[in-house]
Amino acid sequence: MKIEVLRGGICAVKGVRAHGIKEGNKGLALIEGKGKAAGMFTSNKIKAAPVRFAKKQLEKGEGRISAILANSGCANSFTGEKGMRNAEEMAELASSSLGVDKEEVAVASTGPIGEQLDMGLIERQLGEVVNGLTSGEVGSTAAAKAIMTTDTFHKERAISIDTGDEERVVIGGIAKGSGMIFPHLATATMLSFIYTDASLGEEALRRSLKDAVDNSFNMIVVDGDMSTNDMVLLVSTGKGGKISEGDFKEGLNFVCKELAKMIVRDGEGATKFVEVRVRGAASVEDAREVAKAIVRSPLVKSAIFGERLDLTCGRIIAAIGGSAISGDIESSEISISLKNENEKEVLAVKKGEFMDLSGVARDIMKEKEMIIDVDLGMGGEVEATAWGCDLTYDYVRINAG
């Protein structure tokens, strides 16, 4: 199996058209592509109207989606029955404009919580978006830009998978997210819409999506706050070649990890990208929990922003100890090393003892990217990776309004 990165995002997939527009902070994106679908949604106890509506649509539409309509600038969250009616009206507008079954239209929203949608604006924007629908790469980019909120760049990725047959399989996705990023999908907000032309059954799609989300979007943290609107939708047009479930999972994992890392790199106010690798845990679940605890810690994130290697290591230790893992941690077995993008590396903790860091140049912390490698020494051979960013003055400024 060979993976090749393509241009075109979601529009690299056969059977997909897209477009979007942005007017100030109000945007609208429309994606047309019919096929079997799977979705994962926020675990927040207060779910936004579009999340509840999209889940029902997948159930009523028998696992099929024909179109996705997503707006930015208003989350349509904590909006009561009127919010649900507006979500349904969004689906009706898309259904009428495209001539597709209303029950096969999913909707998504992102923006401030507690505001009602401007349905007049959405209806007007939709007319322009429908006229601009295209299978060219500009359609994917326009849709990705339309759903941005505090994002500083749009996020899209596409790949083709060579399975050895004459026909290749393509997977393409777009995403948005910059703040309010601590997804817990059991599936500002993270949204991702992923399309493929692979010919796969519904259960294979669901299993593949859960596996990919667990290894990507569920392993990123910007600020530790979970949105009411998080959503990932996967749609298969079935117009491409056949592929084994294992190969498809590998490709989908690649796309989702790429999109997830883009979200973290674009974290609100962030100046540094941090990858945390944890090994030696008793289980994968424990390894994931420790990795996320480290990238979630405001103290760790602040020390990384301050480029304080001495403070960073002590705070990593505290985050490990405070993580909700099932087994006991033996502090004398923990080792921690840090490496930056220039391949400079320092062993900071070895078997429970801090190393002498007095002669270590501070520039180990100065680069824009950093890897923190943690060995818990609990005997397990599992590992997990999480991605995060530093916590800066600008994050407070952005979120202070």
Determine the pLDDT at residue 71.
98
Vertex 103, ends 84 and 81: CA angle to 5°? 10
Please indicate whether residue 378 or residue 187 has the higher confidence score (pLDDT): 378
pLDDT at 349 over 90: yes
Per-residue pLDDT tens over the stretch 207-235: 999 999 999 999 999 988 889 999 999 99
The torsion angles phi and psi of 164, rounded to 5 degrees, stand at: 100, -15
**Whether the Cβ atoms of residue 190 and residue 43 lie closer than 8 Å to each other:** no
Determine the pLDDT at residue 125.
98
- Max mean pLDDT among 269-283, 316-330, 354-368 falls in 269-283
Determine the pLDDT at residue 187.
44
pLDDT at 305 over 90: yes
Taking alpha carbons only, the member of 308, 154, 319 closest to residue 221 is 319
Per-residue pLDDT tens over the stretch 149-194: 999 999 999 999 998 777 799 999 999 998 766 677 654 679 999 9
Place of tokens 């990023």: 181
Chain centre distance of CA 387 = 11
79 is known as an active-site residue: no
The pLDDT confidence band at residue 303, using thresholds 50, 70 and 90, is very high
Beta-ladder partners of 176? 191
Per-residue pLDDT tens over the stretch 54-78: 999 998 767 899 999 999 999 999 9
**pTM > 0.85: yes or no:** yes
Question: Which domains does the chain possess?
Answer: 2-262 (3.60.70.12), 273-399 (3.10.20.340)
Q: What is the mean pLDDT of the chain?
A: 93
Taking alpha carbons only, the member of 274, 314, 280, 311 closest to residue 296 is 274
Determine the pLDDT at residue 359.
65
**Whether the Cβ atoms of residue 316 and residue 276 lie closer than 8 Å to each other:** no
> What CA–CA distance (Å, rounded) separates 288 from 243?
29
DSSP label at residue 339 = E
Catalytic residue among 42, 149, 187, 237, which? 187
Per-residue pLDDT tens over the stretch 111-141: 999 999 999 999 999 999 999 999 999 999 9
**Whether the Cβ atoms of residue 375 and residue 334 lie closer than 8 Å to each other:** yes
